[in-house]
Amino acid sequence: MTMPAPRVFSGVQPTGNLHLGNYLGAITRFVDMQESHDCIYCVVDLHAITQWQDPRELAHNTREVTAAFLAAGIDAEKHIVFNQSQVAEHAQLAWIFNCVARLGWLNRMTQFKEKAGKDSENVSVGLYAYPNLMAADILVYRATHVPVGDDQKQHLELSRDIAQKFNNDFAQTIREAGYKDGFFPLPEPLIAGPATRVMSFKDGTKKMSKSDPSDLSRINLTDDAEAIARKIRKARTDPDALPSEPDGLKERPEAANLVGIFAALQGESVADTLKTYGGAQFSTFKPVLADLAVERLGPIGAEMNRMMADTAYIDAVLQTGAQRARAIAGPIYEEVKKIVGFIR
């Protein structure tokens, strides 16, 4: 047996305030991948509880992320959409990966350092071990490609290290089970396009984030047209006109951010956007960007709101998706148990 056929896996945490960064960095890419790959898209509720979540809000947010997937154009019949906690194999494989990954590897994770801040003695063990669960999410399907925003690059590298070490640690039983080239593929991050790291509207050096206390720092997918326009109008910028070439955006993080967002929403390159708007002042560019953002995001927000009025449909999508996900993960996890030496 050789390596599995290409398969895409990715996830989004149901931690509230799904924003433009999640949309451009991840969800639009999920939609694109559907044409060429078998895709599994997951609402990663086990990841969400690495920081305390109000149980009622968690359920609401899980449905809302699902609604965002569907409203953005993910086809839950052709592909698989489900929430992570319904497929126990994620957590089971994560335990094995806790025993494969090295402490030194996790100590290097910048996202943990940022999230834990100075309070690292008081955050959950889960927050620390988060990247091991992420590796399990991907590898329990032997997935080969993972569309993510730029902030997840380091976690993906760790997933590859874990896959590689598992393949080495258990090389003999993997061969005996008939796998010639190792059991797990080394998953490839797919980080591409003009908006792989959408930045905060209040500070162009910080990424747009769900947990930023300022709502003005981000566009939420459920914001109405007025809120979208107001946030873009108030977004921090510098006083200069837009340059005509991408090089002119160096050292101008706020300008680079707004141009990158425009390009991504328009489906063109930053260079093309600057061909049109080079020389324009922000007083001209911001209203055009606001109109484009409303045009693209308005229908998605409206569809999400419509879907959230009928949660039975969303729950049914998640349940069916979970059954289909289990049908893939179950046999793979059985193979892992055999390889590790667990009696079955």
The answer to whether residues 19 and 61 touch, using CB atoms and an 8 Å cutoff, is no
User: Looking at residue 23, what DSSP letter applies?
Assistant: I
The residue type found at 309 is: A
The residues annotated as belonging to the active site are: 115, 207, 210
d(CA 143, CA 6): 7
63 contributes a contact to ligand AQP by CB under 6 A: no
Q: Give the nearer residue to ligand AQP in terms of CB position, either 200 or 237.
A: 200
Q: Give the nearer residue to ligand AQP in terms of CB position, either 22 or 159.
A: 22
Output the smallest distance, CB 208 to ligand AQP, in A: 4
Output the smallest distance, CB 165 to ligand AQP, in A: 24
Residue count, binding to ligand AQP (CB under 6 A): 19
Q: Give the nearer residue to ligand AQP in terms of CB position, either 29 or 142.
A: 29
Output the smallest distance, CB 124 to ligand AQP, in A: 14
Residue 269 CB partners (closer than 8 Å, separation 6+)? 194, 263
Ranges of beta strands (E only) in the chain are 7-12, 38-43, 80-83, 145-147, 188-190
Residue 184 CB partners (closer than 8 Å, separation 6+)? 139, 142, 163, 166, 167
User: Looking at residue 123, what DSSP letter applies?
Assistant: S
Q: Is 38 helix (H, G, I), strand (E, B) or coil?
A: strand
151 contributes a contact to ligand AQP by CB under 6 A: yes
The answer to whether residues 164 and 186 touch, using CB atoms and an 8 Å cutoff, is yes
The answer to whether residues 40 and 218 touch, using CB atoms and an 8 Å cutoff, is no
Alpha helices in 170-269 (DSSP H): 171-176, 225-234, 253-266
Q: Give the nearer residue to ligand AQP in terms of CB position, either 7 or 207.
A: 207
Output the smallest distance, CB 233 to ligand AQP, in A: 20
Q: Residue of minimal CB distance from ligand AQP?
A: 25
State the binding string over 20-59 for ligand AQP (x if CB under 6 A, else -): -xx--xx---------------------------------
Which residues, 184 to 223, sit near ligand AQP by CB under 6 A?
196-198, 207-211
Q: Give the nearer residue to ligand AQP in terms of CB position, either 12 or 96.
A: 12
Output the smallest distance, CB 106 to ligand AQP, in A: 16
Q: Which of 61, 144, 152, 217 binds ligand AQP (CB under 6 A)?
A: 152
The residue type found at 303 is: E
Q: What residues make contact with ligand AQP under the rule CB under 6 A?
A: 12-13, 15, 21-22, 25-26, 148-149, 151-152, 196-198, 207-211
